[in-house]
Structure 1
Amino acid sequence: MRKFDIRKLKLRKVTIDQINDRLLLINLYMTQALTFIIGIVWILFQRQNPILLLQFPKTLNFLYWGAGLAAVVIVVDLLISRWVPEEATDDGGVNERLFRNRPWWHILVLSFVVSVCEELLFRGAIQHAFGAYWTSILFAAIHVRYLKHWIPTGLVFSISFGLGWIYDFTGTLWAPIAAHFIIDAVMGLIIRYRRES
């Protein structure tokens, strides 16, 4: 049996074009699993109950807030994509690669997984410790692909702050989960089905 030598491990920067579709999906699901695990551990260290945190509310009022925030974000995003040059909002092609050739049902699955995992960590754990403002700064920072341009970075920060606000206002994690899901699903479906001009 050969020994593994960590000194022979070499890291190199790759672009989105150098990653095949399978590796891109594995990367996405692995990062979401890690996000979910970190969120659960952090919540437990805060002496919160993750089952109570994810308990579904008795009324559907949270859906109005989630859908309302999602509608505002989608309209703003569409206006930005209409009037702002593509170079100022470029994410390196990651969203295009993720959604362009994906079946509609997989876009919905991806959107649900991402919304639950990220909201559990950011709203359920981090916001509980640091508040909506600092959580939004961290949320924008982990979306590294947007940091090259101030417009998408500002948009991600604003979306995160809105998600934090509706979480505080409704008292349920399902409001930001619903908003995050709708935003990702609609934008993913737009990328998937838009006609090239």
Structure 2
Amino acid sequence: MKKKWNEFKTRQVQIDQIDDRMLLLNLYLTQAITLVVAIFWILFSRRNPIALLDIPISSTPFVWGAAFAAAAIILDLIVSRIVPEEATDDGGINERLFRERPVWHIVAIALIVSICEELLFRGAIQHTLGIYWTSIVFAAIHVRYLKHWIPTAMVFGISYGLGYIYQYTESLWAPITAHFIIDLIMGLILRYRREV
């Protein structure tokens, strides 16, 4: 029994060994777990998860979210032009996830991920640990980037910025909007990018 466990835990799976159905199952299962953990964490801290998602009367959080997303996307595009591709490689996961996906599905993925992750990271963890440590945890869970310092630093910086606009606007919709736009635009770029 022990020998089988050691073989199991050391086996590394490459992205091309996972079929599309399993990739999506993994994505949606991860987001479901993220949502459940977020709700329990928020309830445990005696806060209301529904109240955190109240739609603001003012458009300010949405404007801040859109502005931050635009800045993050421009920075990412500049970095991708300057830095060699192998220094930002995520193992092909994003490419595989978005390349053949219909646009409606890219929108759905971006919406689900932005709500679930921002509810956990900004709505729950940041309330307990603050912006800096939340950004450390956020960068760490994006494990596919940890092999290269540039994408890890970018994920940390984006997380810190999301935490800041949440704190500044006092609305979870600011980071949700930014996260949604960033994931949507980057997904669409991967979807429509043609090899030169």
Q: TM-score range by the shorter chain?
A: over 0.9
Determine whether 1:54 maps to 2:53. yes
Give SS of 1:125's match: helix
Once the two structures are superposed, residues 134-188 of structure 1 have per-residue CA deviations (whole angstroms, 9 ceiling, x without a partner) of 0000000000000000000000000000000000000000000000000000000
**CA apart distance, 1:13:** 1.7
- TM-score of the superposed pair, with normalisation by structure 1: 0.95
- Structure 2 unpaired stretches of 5+: none
Counterpart amino acid of 2:129? F
**CA apart distance, 1:6:** 10
Determine whether 1:32 maps to 2:37. no
Determine whether 1:113 maps to 2:112. yes
Determine whether 1:97 maps to 2:96. yes
Provide the aligned C-alpha RMSD in A.
1.3
Counterpart amino acid of 2:136? I
Equivalent position of 1:187 in the other structure: 186
- Paired with 2:2 and 2:138, the residues of 1 have a C-alpha distance of 32
Give SS of 2:147's match: coil
Equivalent position of 1:137 in the other structure: 136
- Paired with 1:180 and 1:137, the residues of 2 have a C-alpha distance of 17
Equivalent position of 2:81 in the other structure: 82
Equivalent position of 1:22 in the other structure: 21
- Structure 1 unpaired stretches of 5+: none
- Paired with 2:2 and 2:181, the residues of 1 have a C-alpha distance of 43
Equivalent position of 1:41 in the other structure: 40
- Paired with 1:115 and 1:60, the residues of 2 have a C-alpha distance of 18
Identity level (%): 65
Deviant stretches of 4+, over 3 Å: 5-11
Once the two structures are superposed, residues 47-75 of structure 1 have per-residue CA deviations (whole angstroms, 9 ceiling, x without a partner) of 00011111110111111100000000000
**CA apart distance, 1:194:** 1.1
